[in-house]
Structure 1
Amino acid sequence: MQRYRSPCGEMMLGAIGDSICLCGWIGRSGYERDLARVTKHFGACVVHGTCPVIDIAAEQLDEYFAGERKVFDLPLVFSGTEFQNMVWNGLLRIPYGVTISYGEEASRLGCPKSVR
């Protein structure tokens, strides 16, 4: 885990092995819950420091906030239910600058009644 200072606020970046498992705003509602879910799901403890994939994530975030990057190419690993993982993977397919409704995303995933 490593803190990352963005122009929009402080974030925490986390990795398991060679993949990013957490990128969240520190202090937002639900941050502690997300951190607990990740550590429980992976049976991991929090170690503060850095690793190559966190360094790459920080570099790509710097480029994004500087307006130089629109696509991230990081290995990600999710810590959720099968449905949550399906949703998160679906969100990755929405291009930069495009917005869609929850209903449209649910339909794209083949679960039109899963909107909430």
Structure 2
Amino acid sequence: MTLHSCTFTTPLGDMLAVASPAGLCLLEFVGQKGLERELAQVQAARGTAVQAGASPILAQTRAEVAEYFAGRRQGFGVALDLVGTAFQLAAWQALLAIPHGQTRSYAQQARSIGQPTATRAVAAANGANKVSIIVPCHRVIGSNGSLTGFGGGLARKQALLALEGRAQQQDLHGI
């Protein structure tokens, strides 16, 4: 198996994308804290080093992210090859279920995976998400509506939510 990578520019900074033949494994902002650790986790999980190069999945990722930032895409179709524990994968699937333009609290996300007392574990799983934007951890906020935790930084989180039309609104029903 080969892991290919590319870097591309977005309005919020350069992003590194890494894909296996099965799908996108990593999409993070260059220079973000923990990026080297995440890259090492992907390489260890797939048993191979990352090499710069092109792939159809990377091309699709770049195109879809550009469309997202241009306001022409609300969902993503690129295949994913996520690297994480079973619990993390469940938390990330819950992230994928949050519609564009909506937010959820960590408590709501914990309930959605059938783990209502696992709010902190869900927050940790979100923090371990290696596919920014496409697996939308930026759509999870504090129960009080505050912006909390985002590997790319809170300014980027706020910008992503604003792009999605969520600058001043929250969907915190049933907290």
Same fold, judged at TM 0.5 (above): yes
TM alignment of 1:21-60, pairs within 5 A? 21-60=25-64
Stretches of structure 1 lacking an aligned partner (at least 5 in a row): none
2:18 aligned residue: 14
**Number of equivalenced pairs:** 116
Amino acid at match of 2:82: F
**1: CA distance between counterparts of 2:86 and 2:22?**
21
1:73 aligned residue: 77
Structure 1 residue 50 displacement after superposition: 1.1
**2: CA distance between counterparts of 1:103 and 1:29?**
25
Structure 1 residue 26 displacement after superposition: 1.0
73, 95, 99: which one aligns with 1:95:
99
- Calculate the aligned-residue CA RMSD, in Å: 0.8
Structure 1 residue 110 displacement after superposition: 0.2
Task: Give percent identity, aligned residues only.
Answer: 36
**2: CA distance between counterparts of 1:69 and 1:102?**
25
- Conservation of the 8 A alpha-carbon contact between 2:16 and 2:29: yes
1:4-58, CA deviations, whole angstroms, 9 ceiling, x for partnerless residues? 1111001101101131111111111111111111111111201101101100110
**2: CA distance between counterparts of 1:31 and 1:71?**
24
- Conservation of the 8 A alpha-carbon contact between 2:22 and 2:81: no
Runs of 4+ in structure 1 displaced over 4 angstroms? none
Q: TM-score, normalised by structure 2?
A: 0.65
Stretches of structure 2 lacking an aligned partner (at least 5 in a row): 121-175
1:38-93, CA deviations, whole angstroms, 9 ceiling, x for partnerless residues? 11111120110110110011001111111111111111011111100111111000
107, 111, 114: which one aligns with 1:107:
111
Q: TM-score, normalised by structure 1?
A: 0.97
